[in-house]
């Protein structure tokens, strides 16, 4: 019986230069990114980026008279600090008290993060694993909504909220943040779901699982990195938002912390001791959230981006 021989494809002179060029280009890029000069440039950029924030942080602890008479760098020669600035913005009874607005920001952010995650996860599953007429066209339309500028929708939405009678409540802010977040959320979660092997879905269906069971028992546990990544992104965006809160707020019991700082800037433009302290009060929660969950943020953004 004759044996079948499998030809071995060897590297030819025509293919070797291309491979060598690819390897050399990758090696060159790797060396450049890991060179001492690249590390030095990264350190310089980091210092330049954090220096103003550090100066604002030092200013928030300086007495009002010192802030008006000298720069923050003078603390290295004359270190004088106080907590009066934070006591004013957190414990005063006047318009400088930011504690109620801090609570408003929490009340705005949590629903504005949870709602788009739930809706986008269901929509992404439908686009990824269900068949219905016009699916591709509808998905392209949802993806295209990302290019619509936020500013052009504010006035029509404001008129709509007034007509519905829900203006100057939390509802317009919740709905606006949810709608603006859905296109990106659906796109990210859809791409992640499409990387899940179809054999898992088919095996679950063979065992009698429907779409509801597949989504809640199979998809959601594997979606945790992507959900966490988008949740962090949405949390930071909503917490630091000024435009939506300023447009759809209008009442002290609804305005978020960013609007309160904006109003404080307009009415107390020379009160740098209060502005600096209030700015760092608004920074506390985002910093804690990002530092605690940054590994999920990176893992979720990279999940599904490569195969193998």
Same domain, 32 and 117: no
pLDDT(83) > 80: yes
Do 71 and 107 lie in one domain? The reply is no
Which H/E stretch holds residue 17?
helix 16-33
Looking at the structure, tell me whether residues 53 and 115 fall in a common domain.
no
Q: How does 53-79 read in b/e, with b if 16+ C-beta sit within 10 Å?
A: eeebbbbbbbebebbeeeebeebeeee
Tell which of 91, 109, 129 closes a domain. 91
Instruction: Look up the CATH number of the domain holding residue 149.
Output: 1.10.3720.10
Residue 265 lies in a domain: yes
pLDDT in tens, 107-142: 999 999 999 999 999 999 888 888 888 888 888 888
H-assigned helices in 130-164: 135-144, 151-164
Q: Are 126 and 77 in the same domain?
A: no
pLDDT of 163 over the 50 cut: yes
| Percent over 90 (pLDDT), the chain | 17
207 and 103 inside one domain:
yes
Would the pLDDT of 18 be above 70?
A: no
Residue 61 in this model has a pLDDT that exceeds 60: yes
54 and 73 Cβ atoms separated by less than 8 Å: no
Q: What is the pLDDT of residues 215-232, one digit of tens each?
A: 888 888 888 888 888 888
The answer on 231 and 125 residing in a single domain is yes
104, pLDDT greater than 90: yes
Domain assignment of residue 54, given as a range: 28-91
Distance between CA 51 and CA 56 in Å, rounded? Answer: 9
The token duo for 6 is 């499998």
Does residue 82 sit in the same domain as residue 215? no
What integer best gives the mean pLDDT of the chain? Answer: 81
pLDDT band at 266 (very low <50, low <70, confident <90, very high): low
Residue 10 located in a structural domain: no
pLDDT of residue 38: 77
Say if residue 152 is in the same domain as residue 177: yes
- Cβ–Cβ < 8 Å for 235, 296: no
Contact 304, 191 (CB under 8 A): yes
Residue 156 lies in a domain: yes
Number of domains forming the structure of the chain: 2
In terms of average pLDDT, the best of 149-153, 215-219, 240-244 is 240-244
């Amino acid at each position: 019986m004759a044996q079948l021989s499998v030809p071995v494809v060897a590297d030819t002179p025509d293919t070797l230069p291309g491979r060598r060029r690819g390897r050399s280009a990758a090696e060159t890029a790797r060396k450049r990114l890991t060179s001492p000069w690249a590390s030095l440039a990264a350190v310089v950029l980091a210092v330049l980026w954090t220096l103003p924030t550090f100066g604002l942080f030092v200013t928030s602890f300086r007495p009002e008279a010192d802030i008006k008479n000298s720069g923050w760098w003078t603390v290295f020669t004359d270190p004088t600090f106080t907590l009066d600035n934070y006591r004013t913005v957190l414990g005063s009874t006047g318009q400088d008290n930011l504690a109620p607005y801090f609570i408003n920001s929490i009340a705005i952010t949590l629903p504005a993060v949870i709602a788009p995650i739930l809706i986008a996860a269901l929509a992404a599953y439908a686009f990824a694993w269900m068949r219905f007429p016009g699916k591709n066209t509808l998905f392209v339309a949802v993806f295209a909504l990302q290019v619509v500028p936020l500013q052009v929708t504010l006035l029509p939405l404001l008129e709509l909220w007034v007509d519905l009678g829900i203006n100057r409540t939390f509802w317009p802010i919740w709905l606006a943040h949810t709608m603006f977040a859905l296109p990106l959320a659906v796109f990210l979660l859809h791409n992640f779901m499409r990387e899940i092997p179809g054999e898992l879905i088919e095996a679950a269906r063979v065992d009698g699982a429907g779409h509801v069971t597949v989504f809640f028992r199979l998809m959601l546990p594997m979606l945790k990195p992507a959900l966490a990544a988008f949740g962090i992104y949405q949390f930071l965006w909503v917490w630091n938002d000024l435009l939506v809160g300023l447009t759809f707020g209008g009442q002290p019991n609804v305005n978020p912390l960013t609007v309160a700082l904006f109003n404080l800037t307009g009415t107390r433009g020379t009160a740098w001791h209060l502005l600096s302290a209030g700015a760092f009060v608004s920074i506390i929660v985002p910093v804690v959230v990002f530092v605690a969950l940054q590994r999920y943020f990176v893992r979720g953004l990279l999940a599904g981006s490569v195969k193998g």
